[in-house]
C-alpha cells in the first residue's frame, strides 16, 4: 500500500522544480480534505446543511458547507507557509498571506472549496477543486493579481477531492493523473488509481438537458447524434448528469464520456469559472488522455482577465470531443 505522501516524494523527480515545498503544499490540501470529509459525513447529525443567508460574489446562495470548506482550506494553506496567497470562488478578492514566510513562498492556489455543495442536502457526491501556480511577482513581496491571472497551461499542479461513497483525491503535476482513496481507519490517502487513462471513446454524455431550449444549434445537433440509435457506434449514448462537476467529470474520466456546459442566454459567457473549475479540470483531463475546450479554443490557452471569469466547458474522451466539435463548426 502506497500513501499519497510516499507517492509524491517518489515522483518528485518528475516535477520540474522538485522541492519539499510541493509535498508540504499538497499535505495542506490533504489535511483540509480530511476535515471536510469528516464534517460532510456528519451532515444531518450536526447543523451544517442548508444555506447561511449569504450570497457569494457570483450572487449565488452560499451554503454552510461552502463557508466551512472555504475557511478550512484557507487556514490549512496559510498554516504551513508554503503558499503566498489564494483565490477562492467564495471570495470576491484574492487573499494575500502576510507572514514573512508566506511572502517568500513560490506558489499561489486557486480553489473551488465545495463544488456542488447544495447536493449535500440530499446526500449526493460533491467535491473540492484546486489549482497551483508558481507566482510571477517577486519573492518577498505580497502577491498581486497577475499571479492568479495566468493561463491554465502555466499550472504546475491541479486536482480535486470527491466526497462520495468513498473519498478520493485525484491530482496531476503534468506527469499523468493519479487517484488516491481515503482510508478513514488509517487516516491516509492510499494509491488506488495510478496513471489514469480516460477511454478514447465512451458511451456517456453529461449535460443539463432541462436547458436544451437555450443551447447553441451545434450542441443540439450533437445531442441528437448521441440519442440516435446506431449499433455500430454503440448509440444511443446514456445520459448521466449529477449536477456536481467533480462527480460528473470523475465518472466520465474513469468510464469514458463527455461533459458539456455551453453558453446560454442567461449565461452568455458560460456559467463555470475558468480559474477555479475549467482550468484544473482541463489539466487533469489532458494528462489522462482527454481534451477540454470552450467550443472554439483549448481551455488551457485562454488568457484570464478577471478572477471570477466564466467560460463554457466541454471536456471528455478525445474521440467524443472531436465529434462534438465537428457539430459546433457546422
Q: Provide the pLDDT for residue 330.
A: 81
Q: Provide the pLDDT for residue 43.
A: 65
C-alpha span between 62 and 48 (Å, rounded):
12
Q: Provide the pLDDT for residue 1.
A: 84
Q: Provide the pLDDT for residue 117.
A: 79
Show the domains of the chain with their CATH numbers. Answer: 4-193 (3.30.540.10), 204-329 (3.40.190.80)
| Number of neighbouring beta carbons within 10 Å of residue 35 | 15
Q: Provide the pLDDT for residue 73.
A: 97
DSSP track, 233-263: GTBSPEE---S-HHHHHHHHHHH--EEEE--
C-alpha span between 52 and 245 (Å, rounded):
22
With beta carbons less than 8 A apart as the criterion, state whether 282 and 314 touch. no
DSSP track, 285-308: HHHTT-EEESSSSBGGG----STT
Q: What is the mean pLDDT of each run of 10 residues along the chain (330 residues)?
A: 88 60 89 93 60 56 83 95 95 95 96 87 90 96 97 97 95 95 95 97 97 96 98 96 96 98 96 98 98 97 98 98 95
Q: Is the dihedral of CA 329, 279, 162, 169 positive or negative?
A: positive
Interhelix angle 20-40/4-11, nearest 10 degrees: 160
Read off the DSSP letter of residue 187: T
Buried b (16+ CB within 10 A) or exposed e, 80-96: bbbbbbbbbbbbeebbb
Interhelix angle 245-255/279-287, nearest 10 degrees: 10
Q: Provide the pLDDT for residue 118.
A: 76
Q: Provide the pLDDT for residue 214.
A: 96
Read off the DSSP letter of residue 17: T
pTM for the full predicted model: 0.94
Residues contacting residue 256 through CB under 8 Å, at least 6 positions apart: 198, 199, 200, 201, 202, 203, 204, 316, 317, 320
Q: Provide the pLDDT for residue 66.
A: 87
Q: Which alpha helices (DSSP H) does the chain contain, by range? A: 4-11, 20-40, 64-79, 100-103, 145-148, 217-227, 245-255, 279-287, 318-329
Amino acid at each position: 500500500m502506497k500513501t499519497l505522501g510516499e507517492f509524491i516524494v517518489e515522483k518528485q523527480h518528475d516535477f520540474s522544480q522538485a522541492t519539499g515545498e510541493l509535498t508540504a503544499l499538497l499535505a495542506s490540501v490533504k489535511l483540509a480534505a480530511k476535515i471536510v470529509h469528516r464534517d460532510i459525513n456528519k451532515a444531518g447529525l450536526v447543523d451544517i446543511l442548508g444555506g447561511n443567508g449569504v450570497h457569494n460574489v457570483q450572487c449565488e446562495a452560499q451554503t454552510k458547507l461552502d463557508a466551512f470548506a472555504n475557511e478550512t482550506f484557507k487556514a490549512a494553506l496559510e498554516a504551513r507557509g508554503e503558499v503566498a496567497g489564494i483565490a477562492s470562488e467564495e471570495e470576491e478578492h484574492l487573499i494575500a498571506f502576510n507572514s514573512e514566510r508566506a511572502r517568500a513562498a513560490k506558489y499561489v492556489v486557486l480553489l473551488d472549496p465545495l463544488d456542488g455543495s447544495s447536493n449535500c442536502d440530499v446526500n449526493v457526491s460533491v467535491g473540492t477543486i484546486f489549482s497551483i501556480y508558481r507566482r510571477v511577482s517577486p519573492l518577498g513581496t505580497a502577491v498581486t493579481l497577475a499571479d492568479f491571472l495566468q493561463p491554465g497551461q502555466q499550472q504546475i499542479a491541479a486536482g480535486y477531492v470527491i466526497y462520495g461513497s468513498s473519498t478520493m483525491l485525484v491530482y496531476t503535476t503534468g506527469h499523468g493523473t493519479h487517484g488516491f482513496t481515503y482510508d478513514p481507519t488509517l487516516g491516509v490517502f492510499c494509491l488506488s488509481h495510478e496513471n489514469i487513462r480516460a477511454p478514447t471513446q465512451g458511451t456517456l454524455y453529461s449535460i443539463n438537458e432541462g436547458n436544451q431550449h437555450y443551447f447553441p444549434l451545434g450542441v443540439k445537433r450533437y445531442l441528437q447524434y448521441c440519442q440516435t440509435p446506431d449499433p455500430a457506434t454503440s448509440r444511443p449514448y446514456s445520459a448521466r448528469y449529477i449536477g456536481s462537476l467533480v462527480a460528473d467529470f470523475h465518472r466520465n474520466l474513469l468510464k469514458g464520456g463527455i461533459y458539456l456546459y455551453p453558453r446560454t442566454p442567461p449565461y452568455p459567457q458560460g456559467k463555470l469559472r475558468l480559474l477555479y473549475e475549467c482550468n484544473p479540470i482541463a489539466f487533469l483531463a489532458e494528462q489522462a488522455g482527454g481534451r477540454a475546450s470552450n467550443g472554439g479554443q483549448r481551455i488551457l490557452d485562454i488568457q484570464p482577465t478577471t478572477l471570477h471569469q466564466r467560460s463554457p466547458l466541454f471536456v471528455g474522451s478525445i474521440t467524443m470531443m472531436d465529434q462534438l466539435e465537428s457539430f459546433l463548426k457546422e
